[in-house]
Every structure is written in C-alpha cells, then in structure tokens.
Amino acid sequence: MKGELRMNNSIFDNIKHIDKYGKEYWEARELMPLLEYKKWDKFVKVINSAKIACKQSNNMECDHFLQVGKMIKIAKGAKRNVLDYKLSRYACYLIVQNADSRKETVALGQTYFAVQTRRQELSDLEYSKLSEDEKRFYQRNLTRKGNNSLNIAAKNAGVKNFDKFHNAGYKGLYGGETADDIFKRKGLRYREDILDNMGSVELAANFFRITQTEEKLINDNIKGENDANNTHYKMGSDIRKFIASHGGTMPECLPTPSKSLKQLEKEKVNLVTNN
C-alpha cells in the first residue's frame, strides 16, 4: 500500500456510492484500507470516536452513521455477514479527524472531506427554484455517478457486454428503443451523448431506472449476464408502466432541449473568457 500512497483525492471518489435518492455515501469497510487500517476492531474505535463527535455537534448520529450488514468472503469460498456502516460525507470527515494523522492518506482524507467542494443535496424547495438548465446539470450529475455505481454492480453480477446491458434498460423504459434508436430520434451528431440531450424530467426517469436496477442486482444477488439484462429491462419497463399509470409523458415523447449540456458548458467557458 505504501508505494501507492502518492495519490490524489480520486481515491475517495472511487469508493463513493450514490443511493436511490441521489445521496452520496461511503462504506466503512471500503474506507478502512484507504486510511491504512488493517483490523476492523481498531477502525471501529475511530468510528465510535467520530460518533461521539457527531453527537457533541448536535447532529443526529443515525443521519450520518447507518449501521448495515455486509456479506464478505472467507475461507474456501464461504461467506459471512459482518457489520458495516453507510457513512455520510460529514461522518467521513469526523472519522478522518479522529484517525491517526501520521498516516498519509488520513491527512489526504482530511483535506478531501473538509475542503473539497461538496455537491449540494438540494431540498425540494431549492430544486424548484433552479432553472430548467440548472436542473438538467443537477440530474445529469446524478445519472453520471449513478451509472458508474450501476456498472460496478453489473460487473459483479457477471455482465461483460455493457452495451447490451444498458440497452436492455433503455428498451424497457423507452418501449423498445435502444440507445442508438434514441440517438437517431433526437437527431444527434456523431459522438453526442444522449443523456446530455435530455431535459430534467427525462433525466430523472433514467436516474430512477439506474438506481432501482442497481439496488435490485445487489439485494437479489443477481448472477449471470442474461439475468442482469432481464432485470434491467424489467426495471425500465416497470418505471414506464408507473409513468403511464400516473398520466405522465412517455420518455420518447418528451422534447429534446435545443442545446446540449456540452454546448451550455462551452458557452459558459466562452462567456468567462471573453469577460
């Protein structure tokens, strides 16, 4: 591990998860080795100290340290359930503050969790005040991180052909359309990303598909590429039925924004440069 410590903040981004509500979290057993702790019982002492600090700051412990079970492999392929925690960014910050600061990655973690700009979790009221383009950027950020997390779950389920896997989800949600069909219907140019050319409502539907599929793959311990693809298709199809039952607009009928998010980003850069 020592030879790998010349890292940047991405080591903490790489183990970040996004739940079905779009909230970020870290798993304690994944954070432990990054902070150079080899034994869980020693790391638990750090977690317990962080919990005390959380209470002393008048924060609800359960909002930041969610105790969960986790299956791990032991000898001869057997598995057993062990204690783990889903940690908020604030919980991680308290943990690194109570960890051994002589460890290089602990110091790096203190900088990452305390200083790095945090993606704001918007309340419903705050979200409603955003412009449509701002909502699109927010939802696109969620789908991007959600897809990264989904890909990990799909890989663990045995998926190798990720194009086929993602197309299964699109076909369920879009009534048979693949990513290429969506691309052509929207009249996009070569290499344009279909998600960058969706409105906030369409992005939100896709984010729901992504998070629910990931949860299903993990909770039902789905194994095998065909079963994973079928799971993704069914989840997309179920969400489509839900939209229809509530009188919503089908995703393929939603308007394509006049400008992609890439175009909007470029315009922002040009505006700053010209000024």
H/E stretch holding 213? helix 200-219
Q: Residue 20 pLDDT > 80, yes or no?
A: no
Please indicate, yes or no, whether the overall pTM of this predicted structure exceeds 0.85: no
Query: Which of 57, 85, 115 is at the close of a domain?
Result: 115
Q: Give yes or no: residues 140 and 246 share one domain.
A: yes
Same domain, 217 and 152: yes
More confident site: 14 or 27: 27
Residue 35 lies in a domain: yes
Is the domain of 95 the same as that of 140? no
Residue 97: what pLDDT?
84
What pLDDT digit, counting tens, does each position of 240-257 carry? 998 998 888 999 999 999
pLDDT tens, residue by residue, 31-48: 999 999 999 999 999 999
pLDDT given at position 59: 79
- Banded pLDDT at 10 (limits 50, 70, 90): low
Average pLDDT, the chain: 85
| Lateral strand order in the sheet of 65-73 | 17-18, 24-27, 79-87, 65-73
Domain boundary among 55, 86, 115: 115
Same domain, residue pair 78 and 187: no
- Of the pLDDT bands very low, low, confident and very high (cuts 50, 70, 90), residue 79 is confident
Query: 199 with 232, same domain?
Result: yes
Whether the pLDDT of residue 221 is over 50: the answer is: yes
Q: Assess if residue 171 is contained within a domain.
A: yes
Contact 88, 64 (CB under 8 A): yes
Same structural domain, 82 and 180? no
Asked whether the predicted pLDDT for residue 114 surpasses 50, the reply is: yes
Say if 153 falls within a structural domain: yes
Same domain, 145 and 72: no
pLDDT-above-70 percentage for the chain: 87
Q: Is the pLDDT of residue 127 over 60?
A: yes
Planar angle of CA 48, 50, 56, nearest 5 degrees = 110
| pLDDT at position 196 | 96
Mean pLDDT of the region 171-196: 96
Domain that holds residue 190: 134-267
- The pLDDT of residue 100: 86
Q: Which of 48, 80, 115 is the last residue of a domain?
A: 115
Residues 106 and 230 reside in one and the same domain:
no
Q: Are residues 247 and 162 in the same domain?
A: yes
38 and 140 co-located in one domain: no
- Whether residue 178 has pLDDT greater than 90: yes
Kindly tell me if the per-residue pLDDT of 168 is higher than 90.
yes
140 shares a domain with 168: yes
Q: 75 pLDDT band (50/70/90 cuts)?
A: low
Residue 26 phi, psi (nearest 5): -120, 150
pLDDT at residue 117 greater than cutoff 60:
no
Whether 121 has a pLDDT exceeding 50, the answer reads no
123 in a structural domain: no
Distance, in Å, from the CA atom of 189 to the CA atom of 260, rounded to the nearest integer, reads 11
* Displacement of CA 3 from its chain's centroid (Å): 29
**What is the number of structural domains in the chain?**
2
Rounded to whole angstroms, the Cα distance separating 172 from 192 reads 22
**Is 145 in the same domain as 98?**
no
